[in-house]
């Protein structure tokens, strides 16, 4: 069986290093490129504790990506760079698997058209942790029966965007599943932003503190009761089974898949 040739964008970041390590350890995958603005010229195998591989960190551009021979580009870069990286991958006939957050609805609509026109597959997921995907799925079930919901998402202090893509996606799913939105009385709030941000009628509260990785609670309220769904990622390895699943799936589709839940069986 031929291996899937994978390149990583943002390879020197914390998620990028874990992606490279995972690809190097998976016999079904082959790491062929590592791209980042940091650590250029460094052997990525040595950087992730796997020994020298001959693959050095390079700048991501048309020439370097094409020369790598990658079939899939896994992107965990930055919100400022991700859109350009996706377009670059498609230009090079490389299928993107994207975990970088910061893409807007308009970006996703544009990318969906671009992916379909190119006849390539792409997977963009707000969260690759399977437990987080299950939390979002369970939230859609709860939203049918419990009319009130608020989201508290907590991440490390180096996460530069807020709210998280997972929180936004969860709010969208809750709103779509609701039978009716709750009634708001914003005129009674004494402090601007005291109830957090609002996405489609769902309040989202973002916390950024050192010591955290990625955590989210969805609290539902109903008559005389609450229901709390919580997911915690204590280590970045929690995201890797989902990344591998997406890498293997993206070669089998010619559409944009938004959300890992579409790759799971429920």
Residues known to be catalytic: 155, 159
What b/e string do you get for 132-154 counting C-beta neighbours within 10 Å, with b at 16 or more?
bbebbeebbebbeebbbbbbbbb
SS3 labels along 12-50: CCHHHHHHHHHHHHCCCEEEEEEECCCCCCCEHHHHCCC
Q: Are 12 and 47 in contact (CB under 8 A)?
A: yes
- By three-state DSSP, how is residue 147 classified? coil
- The angle subtended at Cα 201 by Cα 207 and Cα 216, nearest 5°, is 30
Q: Are 70 and 95 in contact (CB under 8 A)?
A: no
Q: Is residue 162 packed enough to be buried (19+ CB in 10 Å), middle (13-18) or exposed (0-12)?
A: middle
Taking the C-alpha atoms of residue 4 and residue 23, their distance in angstroms, rounded to an integer, is 10
Residue 87 CB neighbour total at 10 angstroms: 14
Query: Tokens 């942790």 sit at which residue?
Result: 129
Taking the C-alpha atoms of residue 136 and residue 115, their distance in angstroms, rounded to an integer, is 25
Enter the tokens of residue 249: 């799936």
């Amino acid at each position: 069986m031929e291996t899937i040739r994978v390149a990583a964008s943002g390879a020197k970041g914390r998620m990028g290093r874990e992606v490279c390590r995972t690809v190097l350890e998976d016999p079904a995958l082959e790491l062929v490129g590592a791209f980042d603005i940091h650590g250029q010229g460094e052997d990525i195998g040595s950087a992730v504790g796997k020994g020298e591989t001959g693959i050095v960190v390079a700048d991501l551009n048309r020439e370097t990506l094409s020369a790598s021979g990658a079939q899939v580009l896994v992107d965990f870069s930055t919100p400022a760079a991700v859109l350009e990286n996706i377009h670059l991958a498609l230009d090079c006939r490389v299928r993107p698997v994207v975990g970088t957050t910061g893409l807007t609805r308009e970006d996703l609509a544009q990318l969906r058209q671009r992916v379909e026109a190119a006849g390539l597959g792409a997977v963009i997921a707000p969260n690759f942790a399977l437990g987080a995907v299950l939390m979002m799925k369970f939230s859609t079930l709860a939203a049918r029966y419990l009319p009130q919901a608020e989201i508290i998402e907590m991440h490390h202090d180096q996460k530069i965007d807020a709210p998280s893509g997972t929180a936004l996606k969860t709010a969208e799913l809750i709103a779509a599943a609701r039978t009716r939105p709750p009634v708001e009385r914003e005129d009674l709030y004494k402090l601007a932003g005291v109830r957090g941000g609002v996405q489609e009628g769902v309040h989202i509260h973002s916390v950024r503190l050192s010591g955290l990785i990625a955590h989210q609670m969805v609290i539902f309220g109903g008559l005389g009761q609450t229901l709390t769904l919580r997911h915690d990622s204590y280590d970045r390895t929690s995201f890797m089974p989902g990344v591998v699943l997406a890498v293997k799936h993206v070669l089998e589709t010619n559409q944009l898949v938004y959300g890992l839940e579409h790759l799971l069986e429920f």
